[in-house]
Structure 1
Amino acid sequence: MEALNLNVENTSSKKVTKLPPKISPKHKRINVLEEYKKRNDNKVALNLVVVGHVDAGKSTLMGHLLYLLGEVNEKTMKKYERDSSKIGKSSFAYAWILDETGEERARGITMDIAITKFETEHRRFTLLDAPGHRDFIPNMISGAAQADVAILVIDSTTGEFEAGFEANGQTKEHALLVRSLGVQQLVVAINKLDVVSWSQDRFNEIITKLSPFLNQAGFKKDKVIYIPCSGLTGENLLKRSQNILEWYSGPTLFQQIDKFEPPIRLLDKPFRLSVSDFFKGGISGMGGITVAGKIEAGTIQIGDDVLVIPGGEYGVIKGLEANDESSKWAAAGDSILMTLSGLDILQLKVGSILCSVSHPVPVTSYILAQIVVFDIKVPITKGFPVILHRQSLNEPAIITKLVTILDKSTGEIVKKNPRCLPKASSATVEIKLTNRPVPFETYKENKELGRIMLRKGGETIAAGIIINILSYNS
């Protein structure tokens, strides 16, 4: 997405008129930035998403790695082996570490985002195992929106890589989606090489086909690393046998993900959290409403007032869990649970934004966006209906105007008021939501909340950034 031209005017947030609640009970204020620095001096926290075509072996690969790291005890692993053998699916045992529901285990596919924690020498990871099946792409988008870095799992067996990479496969779509959502660092795990006798030729063939596409998708060559491995045998996950991978001298999967660089966090921006889930009841049995999500910008601590957009309802933070640990504060990049008091649960929806009372997020149903059109079958025209995705939010919308076609390299205008947008084009368009106004920010204000994706008929047709908000709602 580097080619997107971001020289746009700043847009100011409209202030809500509802008065805030009475001042929250006094808590001893914490210097969150100081505490954040102390925490990250030890190990940097990163959100890692694992994506790839259905049956590429994502859950088996990561489940086996977690087992080798000691995150699953021997007794539990033996139970998974027995239970999977009983239903004739013994190869699924490691996948069951992440695929927890009965339906996922029976069907042998991941249907929703599975979340697990693990650590390397220098990093603390929140692992997001995303579904590969095309029916669950919206779930995958919701999970990938929380990610800082990614592993793309490739099935190297004959015909299977081609099925995932070519017609209607999810390999291309997943790679485009994670890049569109801001992921810049990618490890490509070329899996199941044991099935093709650890063929170096097959490994190189896949890289030759995949590398130009990933480069075109916006991944820099030095930010993409290819690792040969087997999720089933465990080869080259934590260590490798010299007699199996004689031709490979690079890092193991574990060594490579330990080298992921932390992204720049928006600590100095106003607080923003996109709601991915919520429920009645508080952390550790306290009352209230609990909200789950990733902090996209700013910092918070117990006792702070927050604002729900849309709706304009206020809540007071009574409890926090950051990265699965009880905490008195949290900061940009943290995946959190937050218990709020004084809030009506009916005002919350998945995709709502919790934000700073003094700097609310704009609410709108009409935006100007700069998009890159993917490999579509039918050109995009004025009046084209789409589903707009922004993290866990998805809303029906219409492309109301094709404003310009842009040069993909320079961002300069090539054509004004085009009749249609062909595949692989870059353009500015006006988009109107058809159901309700929702919170949006421009990419210039907040890179995380300013990214969107457009889908139609079960396929992702475009991705881009919001460059202006064309009308405001209260």
Structure 2
Amino acid sequence: MSRHRNIRSMDFEEECDAFDDVYGHSVEDDYSMSPSQAAFMYNRNNIQIGSYLNSQKDIEEEDEEIESNEELKKAKLESCVEQIRGTLGTTMTRQQIVDAVVGFDYNVERALNSLLNENPKTQESNRSSKVQTEDLPSSKVVGGSSGAQGKTRTVTKGFDVVVQKDVSRLSSTPDSQSPASGRGTPVNVDEELNKKWEPKIDVLAQYKKDRSDSKQHLYMIVIGHVDAGKSTLMGHLLCSLGQVHQKVMHKYEQESRKLGKQSFMYAWVLDETGEERNRGITMDVGRSQFETQNKLVTLLDAPGHKDFIPNMISGAGQADVALLVVDATRGEFETGFDFGGQTREHALLVRSLGVSQLAVAINKLDTVSWSKERFDDIKDKLKVFLKQAGFREADVTFVPCSGLSGQNLVKKSTENELISWYNGSTLLEVIDNFRPPERPISKPLRFSINDIFKGVGSRLCVSGRVETGCLSAGDRVLLCPSREIATVKSITLEDVPYPVVYAGDQPTVTLSGVEMENVSVGYIMCDIQSPVQVASKFQCRIVVFNVKVPITKGYPIVLHHQSLMEPASFSKLISQLNKSTGEVVKKRPRFLSNNTSAMVEIQVSRPIALEMYSEYKELGRVTLRVGGLTIAAGLITKIIL
């Protein structure tokens, strides 16, 4: 017998009773499973749910409509009050604002005008700070008004900004969210931009009052070729000054001995990470602090390896003076100086970044028996080069020393071979004799950001250097190029709270009113009434060092500006200049070769915050690198908006 049924000859009316698995029937139950009208009946009183809902519809919709209208009016009222409060501040009571809003049927503009007419003082103040979007620096209007809101689409060098012309919509609280959060930040920069910048306090008098009793603060960067002994030299100096506890040094000595690197025990004072200690090289800029007789010195230990030169550039941008360490061991100095080492490049970089005072520590001189001839040979070679790099002879000091043995660091040397021909200053005395640079504290605020992190309470914290001006807790600041507004909540300097910091300081600042994703390393924090310029193209006078391929139009480079690294290119070669006099030698040259000076136009991949050298020296310098090599440095002469 076949296992399959004869479907064609089957009589379904007779056969279906024999099968429980026919469609519409359950295997276990006999009642209907397919949907029918009974499945939609209200069981209690046999009334269909649909008809029941229809009978209650009018009542429920009416109640919901009343509640929604009340909530809408309440929300609308609160919104209007908040907008007017943001414009008028505390000059009006809440009840006055509520009465005006309700009286003018929630028309914010009419209510605001009515309140301003009632208060002449507020009206006069508001008139003086009237928004004029056509005066926005580095922006142009590319769209018209959009409806009753009076919005104008404005593009500011690659960043879309919505400028609210309606006075009632210019209010913004310090804790307003940034655009990236999806909630939008009302742009009210323009109201502040049109105000003339004036110092809020007598900065010079306040600076003298705050800092007259304290020692002069210097930021010193230690540079030089890899393995020149920079970390060991400064680590031993810190130990000799009592900055490192004896128990800690004993621990470093035991641990380094186990690894067979006992000579690195002093370097570990500054090289704190495991990778730096295992590899025996500095990778990031180490920070420490010590005092001399007249100075408070913050030490910046820069990496010497060529792979970490971007970190070194970032550290050099924060320095006031520099200490160049060279290895006196025969063959080692020549490797770092003559054969593509970092001695030349580091010296050129710090000079191009504005450092004018330099001390040269001729280290490891004990390996050549404190030879005077070796010292003089290194000194003569470096003198010629440093003069070509732009250092004045009076600003360069040479000192012999040994980082491992500690000779001539803090105390006079006890080595007879050295005493016989050298009776000059110790390394500590040379550092103490550095002149503090001029602090441009009377200029508008310029703060370059070199680190971003979350602080206590998940607050946004930024650290960097105050290039010009001063910064106080409670100040409202502008972050460029994104044009985000933030409020300074607190300031710490070397982990100590400060109410005010000045040009030259490197504090950590806690901000509110801005999201972390809208701030980047390389941003400039500035005064709202005196914003930093934002552009993607500028003219620059450069000095070309060494290039393997001649520079031509379109030549790609990496631009270093403070802590910022940005892809760029030469968009135009304007003229070739005489290196000594600055006179134009050739207009529109086809290429630039080694050791030439030129005026060029540089195009950056996106808008950045920068200033002309003539106005802000600290933000007017750039360094140009290609393929891990520094090919040129320059001064910004013109910003093309």
TM-score w.r.t. the length of structure 1 is: 0.92
Alignment of 1:77 onto 2:249: yes
Deviates more, 1:246-255 or 1:321-330: 321-330
Deviations 1:90-112 (A, max 9, x none): 00000000001000000000000
What is the 5 A alignment of 1:95-174?
Answer: 95-174=267-346
Q: Judge conservation of contact 1:154–1:190 (CA < 8 Å) in 2.
A: yes
Letter matched to residue 341 of structure 1: S
Deviations 1:370-418 (A, max 9, x none): 0000022222111110000011101000101111111111111111001
Give 3-state SS (helix, strand or coil) of 1:442's partner.
coil
Instruction: Select the residue among 424, 430, 433 that pairs with 1:256.
Output: 430
What is the 5 A alignment of 1:31-430?
Answer: 32-38=203-209, 39-239=211-411, 240-241=413-414, 243-246=416-419, 247-281=421-455, 285-430=456-601
- Which has more radius of gyration? 2
Structure number with higher helix proportion: 2
Residues of 1 paired with 2:584 and 2:546: CA distance? 21
- C-alpha RMSD of the superposition: 1.7
Q: Alpha-carbon deviation of 1:328?
A: 0.6
Residues of 2 paired with 1:23 and 1:392: CA distance? 27
Q: Alpha-carbon deviation of 1:36?
A: 2.2
Give 3-state SS (helix, strand or coil) of 1:62's partner.
helix
Identity of aligned pairs, percent?
55
Residues of 2 paired with 1:167 and 1:269: CA distance? 43
Letter matched to residue 292 of structure 1: S
Q: Judge conservation of contact 1:52–1:152 (CA < 8 Å) in 2.
A: yes
Residues of 1 paired with 2:604 and 2:538: CA distance? 9
Q: Judge conservation of contact 2:492–2:508 (CA < 8 Å) in 1.
A: yes
Give 3-state SS (helix, strand or coil) of 2:619's partner.
coil
Residues of 2 paired with 1:148 and 1:81: CA distance? 33
Q: Judge conservation of contact 2:174–2:512 (CA < 8 Å) in 1.
A: no
Give 3-state SS (helix, strand or coil) of 1:138's partner.
helix
Alignment of 1:437 onto 2:607: yes
Residues of 2 paired with 1:44 and 1:470: CA distance? 39
Segments of structure 1 that go 5 or more residues without pairing to the other structure are: 1-11
Q: Judge conservation of contact 2:174–2:487 (CA < 8 Å) in 1.
A: no
Q: Alpha-carbon deviation of 1:343?
A: 1.2
Q: Judge conservation of contact 2:174–2:513 (CA < 8 Å) in 1.
A: no
Q: Which has the higher contact order (CA 8 A, sep 6+)?
A: 1
Deviations 1:345-365 (A, max 9, x none): 111100011110111111111
Equivalent in the alignment of 1:450: 620
Deviations 1:321-364 (A, max 9, x none): 12442101101000110001111111110001111011111111
Alignment of 1:468 onto 2:638: yes
Residues of 2 paired with 1:34 and 1:41: CA distance? 13
Q: Judge conservation of contact 1:32–1:329 (CA < 8 Å) in 2.
A: no
Deviations 1:416-473 (A, max 9, x none): 0011111111100000012x111111111211111000000100000011100112xx
Give 3-state SS (helix, strand or coil) of 1:420's partner.
coil
Residues of 2 paired with 1:94 and 1:57: CA distance? 10
Letter matched to residue 484 of structure 2: E
- 1:441–1:74 Cα change, 3 Å: same
Give 3-state SS (helix, strand or coil) of 1:168's partner.
coil
Deviates more, 1:32-41 or 1:370-379: 32-41
Equivalent in the alignment of 1:4: none
Deviations 1:122-156 (A, max 9, x none): 11111100000000000000000000000000000
- 1:186–1:329 Cα change, 3 Å: same
Residues of 2 paired with 1:236 and 1:380: CA distance? 46
Residues of 1 paired with 2:499 and 2:171: CA distance? 22
Letter matched to residue 568 of structure 2: A
Q: Alpha-carbon deviation of 1:20?
A: 7.7
Q: Alpha-carbon deviation of 1:286?
A: 4.8
Q: Judge conservation of contact 1:288–1:342 (CA < 8 Å) in 2.
A: no
Deviates more, 1:118-127 or 1:320-329: 320-329
Segments of structure 2 that go 5 or more residues without pairing to the other structure are: 1-135, 140-155, 157-162, 165-169, 176-199
Letter matched to residue 453 of structure 2: F
Letter matched to residue 288 of structure 2: T
Q: Alpha-carbon deviation of 1:280?
A: 1.8
Residues of 1 paired with 2:344 and 2:402: CA distance? 21
Residues of 1 paired with 2:313 and 2:638: CA distance? 23
Residues of 1 paired with 2:261 and 2:565: CA distance? 35
Aligned residues: 452
Letter matched to residue 318 of structure 1: K
Letter matched to residue 401 of structure 1: K
Structure number with higher strand proportion: 1
Letter matched to residue 301 of structure 1: S
Letter matched to residue 283 of structure 2: M
